């Protein structure tokens, strides 16, 4: 990777509690750590379970994983007052860097939580089929504007009465041309499609000299996935 | 004191100012886990004001006085950093002050772009929040009194805000605690702003119980707050 970039690409991973953010990040680290210098910042709610889980998988050296406390305000920490996370990202790069990619995992939150573009260059919003197949229809900024929407745990759909096709259809209605991946870490333990999307983002980030335009930045309802340029 | 400085002090005291204080309970989380009950929160705030916030506010005022003179004050700011280190024996609390100062300076550097904040950000190794607040106060146009008010009020308000999350309370009640403390905070701020002695000749923080509890808090694996 080119040396003149100011800092690593930062990708936010958000979504409700229990949707599988930590497992997805573990899978991505396993898939990408051979080719990229990776760091992870977790925003744990109360325990350091997310960070510990990730350390226990052994996919990353434990000092590449940093946990920050968010004082019961997981939402604030990724959107309204991101200073705690910005300091954590920069410290991680200063001590472990240079890095190519930092994944910032939000503390599980509700459907209205999105990352500030000053913290995450692009963001992935994760939901799962067990949370109810009406979630894409309910919308919210994460569903509508995240750069990538992941509908996780599709292997559970038959057991919880969720219609994945309908979820994909509703998501497309909300998102225009922005990408959606239906994912099961049981059948795709390396999260291949998401890893490929990340590789693509990183190529674009490097090609633009350390810039990336997020669809989550700017006025709601203005999709950037379709064919026009700014 | 100017009207513009007063407005800037509101901005700095507003919990919406992005300086990361929402992630701190300033010792309340550990105190609650060790048995502090609802009726003891207001006395806890009051004790912090006297033992921690007032000496910290004195540092902020000294830093403001140094920073208003621009580059000439840089050496004094470095001394105040050391003074903070000397007055804060707990490594956990020193680290916490460094983080809070760094976060405050990060947002302030965008809010009030100027050489004074940039120089302090790059020169200071410890960026303790009390000194950082004085630097930012100078740049934002606050008077000594306003810097002292913000320093004192912010300490009490941070604890009150954490109490809501830790104890299950009517938010109007924690606001009442702050309202009750307002005259005391005002009087203390005047006292701090009028004290022209060098910080080294003023009383240091003296909250040994809070310092010891901070270490126990940092060792916990389960907690909501950084401090």
Residue in chain B lying closest to A44 (CA):
B224
| pLDDT tens digits along A149-159 | 999 999 999 99
Residue in chain A lying closest to B18 (CA):
A81
Q: Is B53 exposed, middle or buried (0-12, 13-18, 19+ CB in 10 A)?
A: buried
Tell me the average pLDDT across A194-219.
91
Q: Domain containing B154: what range?
A: 23-218
Query: Is A9's pLDDT higher than 50?
Result: yes
A69 and B20 within 8 Å at the Cβ level: the answer is no
Query: Is A169's pLDDT higher than 60?
Result: yes
Residue at B29 is within a domain: yes
Task: Give me the number of domains chain B comprises.
Answer: 1
Residue A109 is predicted with a pLDDT of 78
Positive or negative torsion for Cα A75, A12, A27, A154: positive
B221 and A48 within 8 Å at the Cβ level: the answer is yes
Residue at B16 is within a domain: no
Residue at B3 is within a domain: no
Residue B206 makes CB contacts below 8 A (sequence gap 6+) with B51, B55
- Looking at the complex, report in whole angstroms how far the Cα of residue A45 sits from the nearest Cα belonging to chain B: 6
Tell me the average pLDDT across B130-157.
98
- The C-alpha atoms of residue B106 and residue A45 are separated, in whole angstroms, by 24
Residue in chain B lying closest to A68 (CA):
B226
Residue in chain B lying closest to A87 (CA):
B103
- Looking at the complex, report in whole angstroms how far the Cα of residue A228 sits from the nearest Cα belonging to chain B: 32
Looking at every residue in chain B, the average pLDDT score rounds to: 96
Residue A213 is predicted with a pLDDT of 86
Instruction: Name the pLDDT band for A230 (thresholds 50, 70, 90).
Output: very low
For residues A212 and B181, the model is more confident at B181
Residue at B10 is within a domain: no
Residue at B33 is within a domain: yes
- The C-alpha atoms of residue A118 and residue B20 are separated, in whole angstroms, by 15
Residue at B101 is within a domain: yes
- The C-alpha atoms of residue A214 and residue A121 are separated, in whole angstroms, by 6
- Give start and end residues of each alpha helix (H) in A40-82: 49-57, 74-78
- Nearest CB to A83: which of B25, B106, B224? B106
Query: Is A226's pLDDT higher than 70?
Result: no
Return the half-sphere exposure (C-beta side, CA atoms, 13 A cut-off) of residue B219: 6
Which of A132-141, A153-162, A212-221 is modeled with the greatest confidence?
Answer: A153-162
- Looking at the complex, report in whole angstroms how far the Cα of residue A74 sits from the nearest Cα belonging to chain B: 10
Query: Is A220's pLDDT higher than 80?
Result: no
- The CATH code of the domain that includes B195 is 1.10.4190.10
Residue at B223 is within a domain: no
A with B: how many residue pairs have Cβ under 8 Å apart?
61
- Nearest CB to A83: which of B103, B222, B225? B103
Residue A112 is predicted with a pLDDT of 83
For residue A48, is the peptide bond before it cis, meaning its omega torsion is within 30 degrees of 0?
Answer: no
For residues A97 and B64, the model is more confident at B64
CA distances, A137 to each of A94, A166, A175, B48, B161 (Å): 42, 9, 11, 49, 35
Q: How many residues does chain B have?
A: 227
- Looking at the complex, report in whole angstroms how far the Cα of residue A48 sits from the nearest Cα belonging to chain B: 6
Query: Is A136's pLDDT higher than 60?
Result: yes
| pLDDT tens digits along B71-94 | 889 999 999 999 999 999 999 999
- Nearest CB to B103: which of A47, A71, A87? A87
Query: Is B193's pLDDT higher than 80?
Result: yes
For residue A221 the two structure tokens come to 């309802």
Residue A110 is predicted with a pLDDT of 80
- Nearest CB to A71: which of B16, B222, B224? B224
Residue at B181 is within a domain: yes
Among B12, B15, B16, B20, the residue to mutate for chain A (most A Cβ within 10 A):
B20
Residue A9 makes CB contacts below 8 A (sequence gap 6+) with A100, A101, A102, A121, A122, A201, A202, A205, A212
Residue A57 is predicted with a pLDDT of 87
B221 contacts on A by Cβ (under 8 Å): 47-48
Residue in chain B lying closest to A74 (CA):
B23
| pLDDT tens digits along A77-134 | 999 999 999 999 999 999 998 999 999 999 887 888 899 999 999 999 999 999 999 9
- The C-alpha atoms of residue A106 and residue A115 are separated, in whole angstroms, by 8
A87 and B102 within 8 Å at the Cβ level: the answer is yes
Residue A162 makes CB contacts below 8 A (sequence gap 6+) with A129, A130, A132, A133, A156
> ipTM of the predicted structure?
0.88
- Looking at the complex, report in whole angstroms how far the Cα of residue A80 sits from the nearest Cα belonging to chain B: 7
Residue in chain A lying closest to B220 (CA):
A47
- Nearest CB to A72: which of B99, B222, B224? B224
* C-alpha angle B15-B16-B17 in degrees, rounded to nearest 5: 90
């Amino acid at each position: 990777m080119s040396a003149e970039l100011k800092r690593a690409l930062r990708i936010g991973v958000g979504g409700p509690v229990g949707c599988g953010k930590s497992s997805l990040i573990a899978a991505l680290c396993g898939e990408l750590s051979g080719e990229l210098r990776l760091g992870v910042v977790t925003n744990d709610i109360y325990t350091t379970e997310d960070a510990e889980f990730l350390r226990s998988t052994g996919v990353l050296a434990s000092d590449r994983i940093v946990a920050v406390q968010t004082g019961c305000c997981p939402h604030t920490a990724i959107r309204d007052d991101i200073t705690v996370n910005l300091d954590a990202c920069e410290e991680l790069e200063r001590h472990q860097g240079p890095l190519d990619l930092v994944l910032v995992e939000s503390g599980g939150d509700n459907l209205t939580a999105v990352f500030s573009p000053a913290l995450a260059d692009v963001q992935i919003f994760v939901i799962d089929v067990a949370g109810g197949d009406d979630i894409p229809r309910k919308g919210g900024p994460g569903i509508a504007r995240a750069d990538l929407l992941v509908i996780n745990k599709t292997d559970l759909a038959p057991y919880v009465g969720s219609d994945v096709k309908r979820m994909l259809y509703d998501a497309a209605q909300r998102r225009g041309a922005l990408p959606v991946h239906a994912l099961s870490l049981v059948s795709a333990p390396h999260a291949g499609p998401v890893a490929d999307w990340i590789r693509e983002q990183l190529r674009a980030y490097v090609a633009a000299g350390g810039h990336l335009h997020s669809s989550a930045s700017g006025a709601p309802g203005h999709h950037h996935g379709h064919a026009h340029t700014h | 004191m100017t009207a513009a400085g007063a407005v800037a002090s509101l901005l700095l005291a507003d919990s919406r100012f992005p300086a990361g204080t929402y992630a701190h309970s300033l010792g309340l989380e550990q105190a609650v886990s060790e048995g502090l009950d609802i009726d003891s929160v207001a006395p806890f705030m009051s004790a912090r004001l006297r033992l921690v916030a007032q000496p910290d506010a004195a540092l902020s005022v000294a830093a403001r006085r140094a920073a208003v003179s621009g580059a000439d004050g840089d050496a004094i700011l470095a001394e105040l950093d050391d003074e903070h280190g000397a007055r804060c024996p707990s490594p956990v609390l020193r680290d916490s002050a460094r983080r809070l100062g760094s976060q405050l300076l990060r947002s302030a550097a965008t809010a009030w772009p100027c050489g004074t904040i940039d120089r302090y950000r790059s020169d200071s190794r410890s960026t303790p929040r009390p000194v950082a607040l004085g630097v930012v106060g100078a740049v934002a146009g606050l008077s000594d009194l306003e810097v002292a008010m913000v320093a004192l009020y912010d300490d009490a308000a941070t604890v009150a805000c954490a109490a809501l999350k830790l104890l299950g309370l009517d938010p109007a009640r924690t606001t009442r605690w702050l309202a009750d403390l307002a005259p005391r905070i005002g009087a203390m701020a005047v006292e701090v702003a009028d004290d022209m002695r060098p910080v080294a000749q003023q009383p240091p923080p003296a909250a040994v119980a809070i310092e010891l509890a901070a270490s126990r808090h940092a060792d916990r694996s389960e907690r909501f707050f950084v401090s």
